[in-house]
A and B are shown apart, each in its own frame.
Chain A
Amino acid sequence: MSNGIFIVVEQRNGKVQNVGLELIGEATRLKADLGDDVYAVLLGYNMAGEVEKLYHYGADKVVLVDSEYLKNYATEPYTKAVTEVVKKFDPEIMLFGASSIGRDLAPRVASRVKTGLVADTTGLRMAKTEEEFTQEANHGCTTPQRALLMTRPAFGGNLLATLMCPRTKPQMATVRPGVMKKLDKDNSRTGELIKLDVEFAPEDMNIEILEAVKAEKKMVDITEAKILVSGGRGVGKDGYPMLKACADELGGEVSSSRANVDDPACEWAKPEMQVGQTGKTVRPDLYLACGISGAIQHVAGMENSDLVISINKNDTAAIFSVSDLGVVGDVKKILPKLTAALKKYNDAKANA
C-alpha cells in the first residue's frame, strides 16, 4: 500500500527554500490525521549540510539524492531523480512548492508516473466525512480514508475548487509559497537519513546551461515581510517615496498591485513586488492598501493578511469589503500624514 507524505524540498544555489520548510510544516499537520511519516526529498549537489535543518522543521526522514547532475535545476535530471523516489518509496502523497521550478518539475513527474497533479493549492486536508469518503469511492478510490482533498483558486482567483486524486498514486499537488506555516524550529529534533543513488547518464542532461545567474541586488521577498505598504493605481508611478517612507517607519516593505508593475511609465514597481493571483501571495501582520481598488485577482494574494487597512478615494472600492478598517480619502494626502504621525510615535518611544 502506498505510504508516506513526501515533500520535494526546493533548493536554489545550495540553500533550502522557505517553501520547502512550509510544506514540511503542513505535512506534519496531515500526518496528524493520516499517520504516515513525513519524508523530505532533497535533490542537489553537496547538500549534506542542509539535511539537519529539515529534521528541525519537522521531517521524520530525509531522502537525499546528491549528484553533480543536480547542481543547477534542469528538468530532466530532476524529473528522473524524483521519479526514482516515487518508484522506490511508493508515496501516498507528494507535494512541491508552486515556484517556477516546482511548476516545471511537478507536471513532468506527474505525467511520467501517470498520476494526477493539482496546481497551486492553498488548502490541504485529509478526507474526514462520510460524504467525502463516498465521493472518493464513487470516483474509484479504494482507500478513501487516505484521500487528500486539495483546494485551489481558479478562474483568475474568483472561484475556489476542491479536487481529489482518487485512483492514482502518489496524490500530488503543488502548493503556493507563503500560504502554509512552517513549524517553529526545534534544534533537538532528529531523523533518519536515506541516501538514494540515482544513475544519471550524460543524455539525461538534455539541455546545456550556458550561464546560471543569481540576481546581483538583493531582491526583497515580500512574502517574508511582516508589514507591507502596498501601492495601487491611486498611488501611481510617482508614489514610491511616500510608500517607502511609511514602510520605513513601520519596519515593513513596499509592495504593489499589478497595475503599477504592468505600467511601462512606472519604474519602481518590479514583478517581485506584485501581490495577487499572478504575483505573490502574502500573509503579513499588516497590509496597508494605498490607492488599490481591490480587484479579485489582487485580493486573492493578500486576503489572509492579519490586519488590512485601506485608503481609497472611491467609497465603492472593493478593497473595503476585505479591510478591517477603510478610510475614504486622498491617499496622497493621508499617507504622508500617517507617516508623520508614525515618526512622531516612534521618536517618542525612543526617547521614553
Chain B
Amino acid sequence: MKIVVCIKQVPDTVDVKIDPKTGNLIREGLPVIINPDDKVGIEAALQIKEQMGGTVTVISMGPPQADVALRETLAMGCDEAILVSGREFGGSDTYATSAILAAAIRKFGSYDLIITGRQAIDGDTAQVGPQLGEKLHIPQVSYVEEIKEVAEDHLIVRRQFEDGYHIVKIKTPCLLTAIGELAKPRYMTVDGVVDAYDKEVKIYGFDDLKDDLELDMIGTKGSPTNVYQSFPKQLKAPGKVLKNMSDDEYVAAIMAKLEEKHII
C-alpha cells in the first residue's frame, strides 16, 4: 500500500512562556517538534506498512528547517521524505496550504492512502486535512480513533463523535485525519537516525509546482483569509490571593464569596 503522510513542524506551544514585562510570547528558543497529531499519523502509517507491506512517504510544507522534522520521520522508519518549500508559499492560510500540498502530492504520483493529523498545535484549525481531501477529490474520514481493518482497496475505521462513534468503511484512495487515540508514536531507533542522514530529503520548490497551482491563491496575498491583527491574551484581572491562613479561614472566605455572588 502506498501511504502519504502530511506533517508539520511546529513550535512546542505547550511550553511557551509570556514575557512578564511586555505580555508578549517569547518565541526565541522555543523547541520545534513534529506536530503531535501528525506523529500519530506517521505511527499509524508505519503499522499499516508492517502489516501489509508498501511504502510510507512523508510530505511537509515549511521553511528549510522543517528538514529536521522530516529526517525524524525517516529515523522512525518512513521510506521517503519531501519538503515543499519556497518564499512564494509563505503566509499561506489553510486554503492555500492545502492547494500547495495537493499539487505536491499530484507531482509525487499515485497513492492509496493519505493520512494527516487532525490539527496543528500552532494554527489549531483542523482545516488542512479536509481541504486537501477536497482538492484531491477523494473521500475522507476525520477524527479517526482506530483503524480496524486494512485491505488493498479499502479500510474500516472508527470515527469519533462527541457522543458516540461510527464504524466506517472507506475505499482507497482516501484521506484520514488522525487523533491522539489512534496510535502511540514509536521512538526513533539509533540505526534509524544514522540511516536518516544518508537518505535524501527531496525538495519541491515553487518552480516544481507552479504549473499546477492557482497562482492567485497562494501565499499571503493569495490566501482567502487574511490576518487583521494579532495580540497576546488579555488575562482576566486578578482578584485576591489569600495565603498563610488556616484552612478554616480559607473555607470561610470561599463561603463568603459564594454568598456574595449568589452562587449559594
Contacts and interface: CB of A to CB of B under 8 A. Distances in A.
Interface in B212-251: 217, 223-233, 235-236, 238-245, 247-248, 250-251
Contacts of B109: none
A326 B95 contact: no
Given A212-B164, A321-B236, A327-B245, 11 more contacts: A108-B130, A112-B134, A115-B224, A154-B122, A158-B232, A166-B226, A208-B170, A219-B162, A272-B162, A322-B238, A337-B251
B167 A111 contact: no
Contact of B224 (A119, A168, A207, A309): A168
Interface stretch (B10-18, B48-56, B71-79): B10-18
A72 B166 contact: yes
Contacts, number: 264
A52 interface: no
Contact of B227 (A163, A219, A285, A329): A163
Interface string B29-71: 0000000000000000000000000000000000000000000
Contacts of A322: 235-236, 238
Interface in A282-331: 285-286, 295-297, 299-300, 303, 306-309, 311, 315, 320-330
A117 B94 contact: yes
B236 A341 contact: no
A162 B230 contact: yes
Nearest to B30: A155
A215 B160 CA distance: 11
Given A76-B139, A162-B228, A213 B165 contact: yes
A156 B264 contact: no
Interface string B76-102: 000000000000000001110010000
A330 B98 CA distance: 49
A326 B140 CA distance: 47
Contact of A116 (B95, B133, B140, B253): B95
A104 B130 contact: yes
A155 B228 contact: no
Contacts of B95: 110-111, 114, 116-117
A67 interface: no
Interface stretch (B1-9, B185-193, B202-210, B254-262): B254-262
B242 to A, nearest CB: 5
A210 B228 contact: no
A236 B146 CA distance: 28
B164 A328 contact: no
A207 B141 contact: yes
A218 to B, nearest CB: 9
A100 B160 contact: yes
B226 A325 contact: no
B240 A212 contact: no
30 contacts: A12-B163, A75-B130, A103-B142, A107-B127, A111-B131, A116-B95, A116-B225, A119-B126, A153-B124, A153-B233, A156-B16, A158-B16, A158-B18, A162-B230, A165-B224, A209-B166, A210-B166, A296-B18, A308-B236, A311-B250, A322-B236, A323-B238, A324-B240, A325-B257, A326-B239, A326-B241, A327-B253, A329-B247, A329-B250, A342-B255
A118 interface: yes
* Size bracket of the B interface: 35 or more
B225 A164 contact: yes
B240 A325 contact: yes
A97 to B, nearest CB: 10
Contacts of A309: 254, 257-258
B228 A327 contact: no
In the complex, which of the residues A154, A156, A227, A311 has the most CB atoms of chain B within 10 Å of its own CB atom?
A: A156
A120 interface: yes
Contacts of A110: 95, 127, 131
B161 A325 contact: no
Given A100-B142, A103-B126, A327-B253, A154 B230 contact: yes
B142 A307 contact: no
Given A108-B133, A325-B240, A337 B263 contact: no
Interface string A206-230: 1111111111000100000001000
B25 interface: yes
B257 A307 contact: yes
A78 to B, nearest CB: 12
Given A115-B224, A163-B228, A308-B236, A250 B263 contact: yes
A141 B39 CA distance: 39
Interface in B111-148: 119, 121-131, 133-135, 139-143
